[in-house]
Amino acid sequence: MKPSRVSRVVKLLTTLQSGNQYDAGDLANLLGTSRRTVFRDLKELQAIGVPYHYDPKTTSYTVDPDFFLPPLDLNLQEALSLLLLIHKARNQTQLPFTRSCLLAGLKIENNLPAGIRQYCNTALRNISVKGGAQAPMNLLDTTFARLQGAVMKHRKVHIRYHSLFEGGLIELDLNPYHLLYNRRAWYLVGFSDTHSSFRVFKLSRIKELTILDKCFVDEGDFDLDEFLGRAWSMIPEGRIHHVKLRFLPKVANNVTEVRWHTTQKVTHNSDGSATVEFRVDGLGEITWWILGYGDQVQVLAPKTLRKRIVEMAKNMVKLNESSNS
């Protein structure tokens, strides 16, 4: 929702909570909008769960004055940071319960002192957050909520899962331990009975989910940081590699401005290039990251990684040279 529309919806909520009865024409006059806009904003309220009441006898609308939380004691920066997170940054992470998040923002905004609310609304018009690609997750709320319940209650689950590694649908029972958002998507970390090990499952690839009546014993020894270890992202392979890369001047500064891994070491060279080193568990994930920089990166070590990159680059050339288009 755009800041201007958020501000308008908040004003509509405040008006409806005043205890007076207003019809659509009254609301349009008070808010300086058209009746059509009023109806659209009322639908917005309905979509995020605000329980407004319509009286067909008087054709008027009201909202229970006790619906919102009591006023919050927030200073200007606290209020702006919260509203920035809710109204601007929430779309950059696929949060479950998006409507609840927006409703929380409206509750907070509606209860701010007038001066702080006006400042925040003005500031938000001049702030934008551009999001990256996100994995589609149409059933995120349902899947997330059910798995969260299973994690909290230590309930085993049965899933039908589209596994890229196995190349198709697989069925398995697992003990769900942790929900993780990483690299544009949500994942479940759990102990798979089929694999007899902890595995990571992407929520969007879970085709069917059944919460079983069986419970598992959580001995409290699962540690997410320990499980991920020094993996480049989230798939440890059981072997630490010393990766040494040289990025050419065109991309050197962009690369070194980001902390990609906890073991990262950077050396800026006199020719404008940068040597970047990592100690990373597994080469699979980092290989794709390196390929993303094309001809602007040179693999100095290890030899196995350099050979892998060369073979994939050759296959890319062959694939694209043989294209008929």
96 vs 210, residue with greater confidence: 210
Global pTM reads: 0.67
Report the chain's mean pLDDT, rounded to a whole number. Answer: 85
The amino acid occupying position 301 is A
Whether residues 200 and 245 fall in one domain: no
Of 85, 198, 96, 197, whose CA–CA distance to 147 is shortest?
96
Residue after which a domain boundary falls, among 130, 162, 188: 130
- Judge whether 235 lies within some domain: no
Look at residue 91 in the predicted model and tell me its pLDDT.
64
Q: List, edge to edge, every strand of the sheet that includes 185-192.
A: 197-202, 185-192, 168-182, 155-163, 206-215
Whether residues 223 and 272 fall in one domain: no
- Judge whether 135 lies within some domain: no
C-alpha span between 134 and 204 (Å, rounded): 11
Instruction: Indicate which CATH number applies to the domain containing 86.
Output: 1.10.10.10
What is the domain range of residue 222?
Answer: 140-228
Whether residues 223 and 250 fall in one domain: no
Residue 2 clears pLDDT 60, i.e. is over it: no
What mean pLDDT is predicted for residues 105-116? 79
- Judge whether 158 lies within some domain: yes
- Judge whether 233 lies within some domain: no
Whether residues 188 and 78 fall in one domain: no
Identify the weakest region by mean pLDDT among 36-45, 124-133, 158-167, 251-260. Answer: 124-133
Look at residue 160 in the predicted model and tell me its pLDDT.
96
pLDDT tens readout for residues 18-68: 777 888 888 888 888 888 888 888 888 877 677 788 888 888 888 876 665
Whether residues 124 and 1 fall in one domain: yes
Residue after which a domain boundary falls, among 108, 130, 152: 130
